[in-house]
A and B are shown apart, each in its own frame.
Chain A
C-alpha cells in the first residue's frame, strides 16, 4: 500500500542517515527481520542492499496490473 511504501522509504532514508552516525542504529526493521535477531551493525550494513531491493520492487508499480491475477502456473498460456 502506498502509505507503507512511503513509510518504508522514510525509514530507509533515516537508516541511511544513521549510517553517518556511528552511535545510532538503523531504523526498526520489519517483524520478519527482527525475528532473526541480527546485530545492529549488520543491519546497518545492509542498508544499500535493502534500498535497492525496495526500489527494484517499486518499479513494478508502473505496470497496469489491476486486472491481472497473480500466479506462475502458466500451463494455460
Chain B
C-alpha cells in the first residue's frame, strides 16, 4: 500500500483515468499511513478521515460515470492549517483558534474541490505562519521524515513533512518569506512560490498583505504544474489577485532550455556564504542545466543584500497590524514566541514602512533590469542543510545575516515565481534545495527548468525510509 503513497500525481492520475486505480484505494492507503506515522511526525493537526473517504467515494463514482474532471480528480492532498475549510476546524496553529470552524472554503480550497481533489486534513504550521513553535506550545512542530533530528522548517512544516513522508500526494502552503521553499529544501520536495497575485488568498489567515503567497508542495515540477493549473487565476475577493490569463503550465513543461540564459550571482553567494556540500551540489546543478542547453551567466544585482531587511521590516509592521487585536484580547491563548515576535513591529513607524516599500520597489527594479540579460536566476534555497552547516566563510555584512532567508527573500521582495527542488543530499542524509526564479508571471518557465532538471536527475525520486 505504501507504494501508492509515493506515486507522483501524474502517474496516479493516469492510473485513475484508465480505471486501474480507485481514488478510494489511494485515499485509504494514505489514511492508513497517516494513522501509522502522524503521531511521530506530527504532520497533521486535523485528519478528516470520514470526509476524505466520502470525497474519494464521490470521485470514484463520478469517474466511473464518465465525469472525469482532470488530473487532480481523486488525488488526496492536505492544506496548511491557516487555510479555511468549511466545516473543518482551522486553527492557524494557535490555541486562540482551537475551536474555529469556518463556514466557507478558502478560494484555493474551492478551486481544488472543483478539480476533484480529496482533502486528507489540515497540516501543521507555525502559529499563524509566523512564529516558530516549540515542544511546549499548543501545536508542536512537525518532524522531518528524513531524520527527526533535522528541522522540517517553517512555517509550512506540516505540509512539507507530510508530502515527504507519503502522508499526502501534495499540500497547499504559503510563503511570505520562504515558508514554502525552505521546508521544501529541508524535506527534499518541490516547493513553488508562485508569482504574487497569481493565486487568490481569500480565506487564508493573513500575515502580510503584501507578501503572503499561496503555493503547492509536491514531489515533482510536473505535479506542481498540475496543482498550479488548478489554483491559478483571479480571485474576485482578493484585490491583489491578477486577472492575467493563465497559461497551460503542464504543456509548458516541454519548453526546451536551448538558448535559455540562466543567471548566477557569485558575488552575492560569496557574501552570503553556504555550506560546502551545498556549494558542491550547486556547482553540479549548474553542470546539469548547462548540459541541458542553458547558458550560464554571472550577474550582479545592486542592493540585493537589503532584501532581508526589506522583508522583515514589512513583515513585522504588517504582521503587527494583522494580529494586534488578537494580542490585546487573547494574549493568554498565544505562545510567548508569537507575542515576542509580533509586538516589535509596533515599534516601527510609517516612515519605516514607506522606506521599506520604496526599497522593495528599488530592488524589484534592479531584478527587472537583470532579467533583460537572463531568463532565470539560480541560487541555493538555503545556505544550511538540515544536517548542519560547514560554512566556507563568515559573512561580512550583517545586513545579509546568515539565516535561511538570504536566498529566498529576494523573490518575496519582487514577488516573482521561485521554486525549490532537491539537487543533492548531504553525507548525513539531509536534502539540499536548488532555487530557480524567473520573471513575474513566468511561473511556466520556472517550472519548465525545474522539470528539465528532474528529467536529468533522480533526487526528487528518493523517499525517506520510514517504518
Segment at the interface with A among B56-64, B78-86, B91-99, B347-355: B347-355
The reply to whether B356 and A60 form a contact with Cβ atoms under 8 Å apart is yes
Q: Is B362 an interface residue (CB 8 A)?
A: yes
The reply to whether B358 and A36 form a contact with Cβ atoms under 8 Å apart is no
A50 to B320, CA, bound (A): 13
Chain A residue contacts of B217, Cβ below 8 A: none
Chain B residue contacts of A53, Cβ below 8 A: 312-313, 316, 344-345, 347-348
Chain B residue contacts of A60, Cβ below 8 A: 306, 309-310, 313, 352, 355-356, 359
* A43-74 contact mask (Cβ, 8 Å, vs B): 1 or 0: 10110011011101101111111001111111
A62 to B367, CA, bound (A): 19
The reply to whether B310 and A42 form a contact with Cβ atoms under 8 Å apart is no
When the two chains form the complex, which single residue of A45, A46, A57, A74 contacts B356, counting CB atoms closer than 8 Å?
A57
A63 to B242, CA, bound (A): 30
The reply to whether B399 and A59 form a contact with Cβ atoms under 8 Å apart is yes
B272 to chain A, nearest CB (A): 16
Chain B residue contacts of A77, Cβ below 8 A: 364-365, 367-368, 414, 440
Chain A residue contacts of B309, Cβ below 8 A: 56-57, 59-60
Q: Is A32 an interface residue (CB 8 A)?
A: yes
Q: Interface size (B, Cβ < 8 Å)?
A: 49
A42 to B327, CA, bound (A): 12
The reply to whether A70 and B361 form a contact with Cβ atoms under 8 Å apart is yes
The reply to whether B327 and A72 form a contact with Cβ atoms under 8 Å apart is no
B177 to chain A, nearest CB (A): 13
A72 to B310, CA, bound (A): 12
Q: Is B136 an interface residue (CB 8 A)?
A: no
Chain A residue contacts of B357, Cβ below 8 A: 70-72
The reply to whether B415 and A30 form a contact with Cβ atoms under 8 Å apart is no
Q: Is A6 an interface residue (CB 8 A)?
A: no
Interface residues of B in 296-349 (CB under 8 A from A): 303, 306, 308-310, 312-313, 316, 320, 324, 327-328, 331, 339-341, 343-349
The reply to whether B368 and A45 form a contact with Cβ atoms under 8 Å apart is no
* B280-305 contact mask (Cβ, 8 Å, vs A): 1 or 0: 00000000000000000000000100
Given A56-B309, A60-B306, verify A65-B358 contact (CB < 8 Å).
Answer: yes
B389 to chain A, nearest CB (A): 22
The reply to whether A65 and B355 form a contact with Cβ atoms under 8 Å apart is yes
The reply to whether B324 and A54 form a contact with Cβ atoms under 8 Å apart is no
Q: Is B249 an interface residue (CB 8 A)?
A: no
A35 to B324, CA, bound (A): 9
Chain B residue contacts of A1, Cβ below 8 A: 351
The reply to whether A36 and B324 form a contact with Cβ atoms under 8 Å apart is yes
The reply to whether A74 and B344 form a contact with Cβ atoms under 8 Å apart is no
The reply to whether A68 and B196 form a contact with Cβ atoms under 8 Å apart is no
Q: Is A20 an interface residue (CB 8 A)?
A: no
B437 to chain A, nearest CB (A): 14
Q: Is B28 an interface residue (CB 8 A)?
A: no
Q: Is B121 an interface residue (CB 8 A)?
A: no
Q: Is A23 an interface residue (CB 8 A)?
A: no
Q: Is A21 an interface residue (CB 8 A)?
A: no
The reply to whether A68 and B364 form a contact with Cβ atoms under 8 Å apart is no
Q: Is B8 an interface residue (CB 8 A)?
A: no
The reply to whether A74 and B440 form a contact with Cβ atoms under 8 Å apart is yes
Chain A residue contacts of B352, Cβ below 8 A: 57, 60
A71 to chain B, nearest CB (A): 6
The reply to whether B343 and A68 form a contact with Cβ atoms under 8 Å apart is no
Q: Is B273 an interface residue (CB 8 A)?
A: no
Q: Is A40 an interface residue (CB 8 A)?
A: no
Residue in A closest to B197 when the chains form the complex, CB atoms: A75
When the two chains form the complex, which single residue of B196, B324, B331, B367 contacts A72, counting CB atoms closer than 8 Å?
B196
Chain B residue contacts of A29, Cβ below 8 A: 346-347
Most buried by B among A8, A37, A56: A56
Show 11 A/B contacts (Cβ-Cβ < 8 Å), sorted by A.
A30-B346, A30-B347, A50-B343, A53-B345, A53-B348, A59-B306, A59-B309, A60-B310, A63-B355, A72-B361, A75-B244
Besides A33-B343, A35-B324, 19 more A-B contacts (Cβ < 8 Å) are A32-B320, A33-B346, A33-B347, A36-B327, A46-B343, A53-B312, A53-B348, A60-B309, A60-B356, A60-B359, A68-B361, A70-B358, A70-B360, A72-B357, A72-B360, A74-B361, A74-B415, A75-B441, A77-B364
A residues with CB within 8 A of B: 1, 4, 8, 29-30, 32-33, 35-38, 42-43, 45-46, 49-50, 52-54, 56-57, 59-65, 68-75, 77
B residues with CB within 8 A of A: 196-197, 210, 240, 242, 244, 303, 306, 308-310, 312-313, 316, 320, 324, 327-328, 331, 339-341, 343-349, 351-352, 354-362, 364-365, 367-368, 399, 414-415, 440-441
